[in-house]
Structure 1
């Protein structure tokens, strides 16, 4: 039966050791740079090198997180040396988000496996196929996928599939979140998410609050736990079960690994059918396991992720955003400062218990002595505490469980089985041969065990009592301070041998040290000369005929020449920078068409009616506009199939190209539909460095939208000649499979014109747009981006075009905004936008 990897989080050396001792197959861990958990106890260089050896000697693998977006100077100045040392030491794989980082690593370290991070928002095998020739051997699926989608991926790719099975869930699709970035400058794409999804909000519609005051953590999902779904997940074809939790304690890593190790091993032993029968007949087994996992960490209980649910309130922890603990009893009586608790679970000495009234904490205390289930625990409480009969009591710290896990998996390392043969003959050097198996998948071609022979002192003849085999065995079996224990040890003696105990111990120590070093050294490698190993051919995903057609597309001049009566009422002829507008409803189109300075129109396919699309395109063409179709933010299998099936409804011949937001759309257009029309990237297809630029150019894409997380100085360093720059629009902060409306009121199918309002504790109001066609929510920034007052700085960047995105604006508002931007950017006049407060986004401040 197929082996499945348990991949454990290691936010520290302690977590790594505990997870490995508990039975994981691999760990993922961050160094001091470029990891998506910048605030974890990430490892220094020397410690990380030792960690690689520690894992390899024990037959485990270590993956390094390089899963953030890198700015040009970071990639240029330090990435090579950062990776080189770990690569040479035997690093098993890197986890990567940035396609520039991916391209760079593959060029310089071509035999280093690359795992495409969940931050790449891969929802289908087709998306991962785009990355395959750049060293990607594994795709980490988006957490939002269901089992049917996972099975389809398994059927359509040879890549390894890694999927999350336990731990925290993001509210937003990973890699698509700007909320922390825009609110406080801490970007999730840089490993510094401030977790705004765990803050309080209120929801209103048409001025009326619709969310409950008791359920104010609107964006806070429960943690996922799929322990009861192990059989389904194993049957789906997942290769690696990934556990989230690099910010948690080492006991957490150990406890979660222990639970999944036990269940996966049971599945492998019994097979799918008998495994399911076992749990049907023994429900208490999973119940007890789940209780231990809840004690380690849970938010209002667990959900099972999205494997069997598309979304819903039952997946959310809207009462409390942090550890909820385990319900262990309720208040039976309360007299003065003394409360009696009737226990429904055993509690232990040093457990922390918390009284809750209507879900709110009123008082907590540390248990002095353990008390059994069904008994009464009596405690004194703080005077004035609002504790009432019937209040629930939760355990937020299970001291006995933490101590057990620490003792089992941290205090003592699990030993590696070794084998030995000792030989001693009078008059000859004694010798000790030791060997152990290398079981890591990283050395799949290594079949022979690692063997070391060490020689010691000349064996003397005993004058009185010769040493016995048992006596020698006792000394050689003392392996406490090594990673090994002997599974089998043979001893050959010739003559009446005498061996000084100190020399025998020295021989044992030296042999086992050499064995450990040899096992670690088996993974070492050298960097070849790959400095000129450029990717000099386009992806095979794009056939030669399509590439020939792409090569003949005329590059459109983005600097327009206008001779007309312009928007400020004068007639003149002058060169000006080209403008792009994105429209999301048909009423926004008329003022765009009436503005000759707008050269390019993006029509949002996710928002506009397919039936009206040909007419909208025709109207644009009649006014001389260049037209691109903007594809959906997320393209999962049902959407992909629908677009493929109904291609005649949206692949209008007269359009000039497409703007894509994900890799699935790239594969759909180039490989499935073989379009020769131009493909452009939206700003969530991140290009923060020249290597990312080259990656897309390898695929025939030469027009990008500048990242909304780069500031002016960073854009100068990157260079903007191939970039359009967004200068106006409400920025989408989150794209989520969850639905704010459904979770606070009810599911209301149909694209709703009036957005819901999400209000935070600072009274900032974020509009939430519901897209029922594709069943996702988009949360927009409270302030509209406007670089109207930054004309000189923007033009000094010399971008290809300037882009204005319209979302909630009506026809008149679109006309007003266009009029002002045309005055300022096309004719050098002064201008201003009336009304609300605007934001410059990251154009000035940048991100951490």
Structure 2
């Protein structure tokens, strides 16, 4: 097969980068000291990263820099340009980006730098990905939840490169849609600081009854994926780059996993499907898979979502971290010693862990003398043997022999690049050394060659200093010497011409990747920031004038206190309450929880009342719901062409803009807060696409919102925040699927170690779960700050509230924000979210 498939390896450090390259990767992805989604990895400082860019190019490989966090407005102005400029000039191959504002900024200021859309952009269809092409995006990293069929569908509908995770950790939530770590502890996954709350224990309750098992507390912890056996199908799906997860892991992991995927991918591309199938049913394959297990696994592996939509067998619910490899069982105790009946060979410095029948670790030890007798190991466990029982299982969590071998093969032993040389030493002419690597040839020169007075140089004496390439990246595979017989050349000359020649060759290799400085005009604009305020204020003013009804006249007369109120509802009874309030300017109905009949009724009633109606589209829009959503939207528009829409992903933007052209309608499209307007470049990105209405992000604090400017934004002031959007189903992995509880008052919830609740809601149309914060957001007491922000609208989201709660909340907000009331209900059970604290 002629296709070139890239193996893309993680590099959490310089050592990991080298190890992965020695193991056969084609490219590495790595973080610098800013703006990367693994803030706690051993990321490279600037000088080290510049060297890394050169080294990857010398080795004929590529380096992609992660700039895949959301960037606040002030960071964009002060830091982003200066952070990237030296890497750009050095020849950085691409940047991996989540923030559309960063995409816009980079494409404008560094137009020759390819951009890869991070998996954090939650791209699920080509329709969404193609929206990013005009912004310099050349590759999309697919959402990890996609099936092979969905990836094939993307391949058929875009010419962008496709990159997909093939090995390593899975998030429980769609990447880019998780606020759990952010809200719980202020460490945002969107800012590279995820605290991994999905690896913590939870209990799942229905009312007062716990419906999850105490033996399986890690309800949100997926197994790592291993897709070696799926390599033929991954290739046939049209994937261009096989991405290995693991920038937080050790160099041995990066090298070991890379080597396995290199071996099996090359085997398939060379020998085809039949021989590949024979290989993966061999003992050799079993050994290789066991070594991957030794490197890292969580309760074994799954094959991810490629052929499985979701399910309990994809989860590691008894243990959230490295499970190791089963090696034996306790068969007896003798005083302070235990007897282990071994199923696998063990070695000195292996770490073994004994686990009870509840899969709890009761004892861990390092093997000192792996002295086996008839397949048994007797080891001293001191006084702790009282916790150990016959029948307890023993796992190896560190395979020392494997790590030693990987270290020797890929870390300590660098792969050298073969070069060819010609030394010309002609009497009376300059000493010349020509070096060639692939199609690159250079010649270095030195002093005039002199005649020998005593001992003329032999070819052996001439070649010996030239072959001493030491700690360089090269080895001299071939050296031709063209020399006169009666000459003398000092060894110092030979050493110097060798050093100069190697450096010149290296400069020639890396020089082909260098770029020129972008124009000064662009640089000045980047550093100063875009002055978009007048442009946006004009649009804000127009929108607010149209948006605020006569019933808001009291607020209008207060000048700065002018904004509308928009309310999102999930049920018909909530709507029937909300529509009676004259102060409400917009009603947002949730597509996921309402029937088509209810949506049409809501829209008609709202529009007839002189208010705007927005249909809130699903969090996730994959191929399986895209066609139904398209059909439904067409029917809604045909019924009432004044319906507007709130979108939560790029696929929905593309769908609506296509339908607007097809049906020649002019509907408003408003962006939900999960599309992350963190900076003014993000606004300009959407502005260029004809999108002018936004919802302010929920991870910015008051000062950051002020710095961004939210006059063109709705601002969420009340609601239960969705913390996770997951393709997994808590019902299916515990008590069994119950199609479907969407739209009902939530009686089912998770409870964490601190007894905090998180409500669970299912969406069976798109087959995903939403996990909500159990503590409701309320900015009731922050009215003065919000008056200063001057948002377009206040937004209140009702999810599980009863009619009485809707009435109480809405009346209180109207009293405080419109009539200046200072009487507040008890807010001890509420949170102000990030309005005060923000995220790192």
Tell me, what secondary structure is at the counterpart of 1:175? Answer: coil
Residue of structure 1 equivalent to 2:355: 356
Equivalences, count: 815
In 2, distance between residues paired with 1:273 and 1:580? 60
Alpha carbons 2:552, 2:583 under 8 Å: kept = no
1:562 to 533, 536, 551: 551
Measure how far apart 1:522 and its partner are.
2.2
Q: Give the whole-Å Cα distance in 2 for the aligned partners of 1:574 and 1:70.
A: 29
Matches within 5 A, 1:396-795: 396-437=397-438, 449-462=439-452, 466-529=456-519, 531=521, 557-562=546-551, 577-651=563-637, 652-674=639-661, 675-752=665-742, 753=744, 754-795=746-787
The answer as to whether partners of 1:231 and 1:276 remain within 8 angstroms in 2 is no
Q: State the match for 2:321 in structure 1.
A: 322
**Superposed displacement of residue 286, structure 1:** 1.9
> Match of 2:528?
none
**Structure 1 length-normalised TM:** 0.93
Provide the C-alpha distance between the structure 2 equivalents of 1:274 and 1:644, rounded to a whole number of angstroms: 44
Would you say 1:803 and 2:795 are equivalent positions? yes
Which whole-Å CA distance do the structure 2 matches of 1:813 and 1:554 have between them? 30
Give 1:443's aligned residue: none
Partner of 2:81: 80
Cross-structure match for 2:536:
none
Cα distance per residue 1:234-293 (max 9 Å; x no partner): 12111111111111111110111111111111112112343224434xx22221111111
Contact 2:420–2:437 at 8 Å: present in 1 too? Answer: yes
Q: CA deviation at 1:513?
A: 2.1
1:828 matched residue in structure 2: 820
8 Å CA contact 1:562–1:573 kept in 2: the answer is no
Between the aligned partners of 1:381 and 1:560, the Cα distance in structure 2 is 77
Q: Distance in 2 between matches of 1:575 and 1:279?
A: 68
How far, CA to CA, are the matches of 1:278 and 1:785 in structure 2?
55
Identify if the C-alpha distance between structure 1 residues 576 and 137 changes in structure 2 by more than 3 Å, giving closer, same or farther: closer
Range 379-388 or range 190-199, more displaced: 379-388
Give yes or no for the alignment of 1:366 onto 2:366.
yes
Kept after mapping to 1: 8 A contact 2:544/2:564: no
Unaligned 5+ runs, structure 1: 438-448, 536-549
| Alignment of structure 1 residues 12-161 onto 2, 5 Å | 12-161=13-162
Give the equivalent residue in structure 2 for 1:547: none
Q: Secondary structure at the match of 1:603?
A: strand
The 1:351–1:786 alpha-carbon spacing in structure 2 relative to 1, beyond 3 Å, is same
Higher mean C-alpha displacement, 628-637 vs 266-275: 266-275
Change (3 A) 1:167 1:500: same
CA positional deviation for 1:464: 6.5
- Residue 250 of structure 2 is aligned to residue 258 of structure 1: no
Q: 1:56 to 1:532 in 2, by over 3 A?
A: closer
Q: Larger deviation: 409-418 or 477-486?
A: 477-486
Taking structure 1 as reference, are residues 603 and 514 closer, same or farther at Cα in structure 2, changes over 3 Å only?
A: same
- Displacement after TM superposition at 1:646 (Å): 4.0
Task: Report the RMSD for the aligned CA atoms in angstroms.
Answer: 2.3
Gaps of 5+ in 2: 526-538
Cα distance in 1 between the residues matched to 2:707 and 2:574: 35
Structure 2 CA distance for aligned equivalents of residues 778 and 330 of structure 1: 41
CA contact (8 A) 1:657 1:677 kept: yes
Whether the 8 Å contact between 2:561 and 2:787 is mirrored in structure 1 is no
Structure 1 segment 268-287 matched on structure 2, within 5 A:
268-280=269-281, 283-287=282-286
Work out the CA distance in 2 between the residues paired with 1:55 and 1:143. 27
The separation in 1 between residues aligned to 2:523 and 2:232, in whole angstroms, is 44
Is the 8 Å Cα contact of residues 561 and 573 (structure 1) preserved in structure 2? Answer: no
CA contact (8 A) 1:347 1:373 kept: no
CA contact (8 A) 1:221 1:317 kept: yes
What's the CA shift for 1:53?
1.0
Q: 1:72 to 1:26 in 2, by over 3 A?
A: same
Q: CA deviation at 1:573?
A: 14
The corresponding residue for 2:340 is 341
Residues 554 and 32 from structure 1, CA distance in 2 versus in 1: closer, same or farther, beyond 3 angstroms?
A: closer
- What is the CA distance between 1:555 and its match in structure 2? 7.0
The worse-fitting range, judged by mean Cα deviation, of 366-375 and 639-648 is 366-375
Give the conservation status (yes or no) of the 8 Å contact 1:562–1:575: no
**How far apart are the structure 1 equivalents of 2:825 and 2:241?**
52
1:438-497 C-alpha deviation (Å, 9 max, x unpaired): xxxxxxxxxxx2221112343344567654435534443332321111233222233344
**Displacement of 1:517 after TM fit?**
2.5
Q: Do the aligned partners of 2:560 and 2:790 also contact (CA within 8 Å) in 1?
A: no
| Structure 1 residue aligned with 2:532 | none
- For 1:294 and 1:350, the matched residues in 2 are separated by 18
- Aligned positions of 1:369-408 closer than 5 A: 369-370=369-370, 375-385=375-385, 386-408=387-409
Aligned to 1:293: 292
Secondary structure at the counterpart of residue 717 of structure 2: strand
Change over 3 Å in CA distance of 1:61–1:574 after alignment to 2: closer
Q: Which residue does the alignment assign to 2:198?
A: 197
TM-score by length of 2: 0.93
Higher helix fraction (1 or 2):
2
* 8 Å CA contact 1:788, 1:831 repeated in 2: no
Q: What is the CA deviation profile of residues 349-398 of structure 1, one whole-angstrom value per residue up to 9, with x for unaligned ones?
A: 11111111121111111111345797211100131431112211111111
**DSSP 3-state at the match of 2:482:** strand
> Does residue 4 in structure 1 map to residue 10 in structure 2?
no
1:490-536 CA distances to partner (integer Å, 9 max, x unpaired)?
2223334443333323322221122122222221111231735999x
Asked if structure 2 preserves the Cα contact closer than 8 Å seen for 1:785 and 1:841, the reply is: yes
User: Equivalents in 2 of 1:135, 1:720: separation in Å?
Assistant: 27
Q: Distance in 2 between matches of 1:732 and 1:181?
A: 12
Using the TM superposition, name which of 83-92 and 428-437 deviates more: 428-437
Distance of 1:197 and 1:244 partners within structure 2: 17
Show the counterpart of 2:529. none
State the 1:420 CA deviation: 1.3
State whether residues 620 and 649 of structure 2, in contact with CA within 8 Å, keep that contact through their aligned partners in structure 1: yes
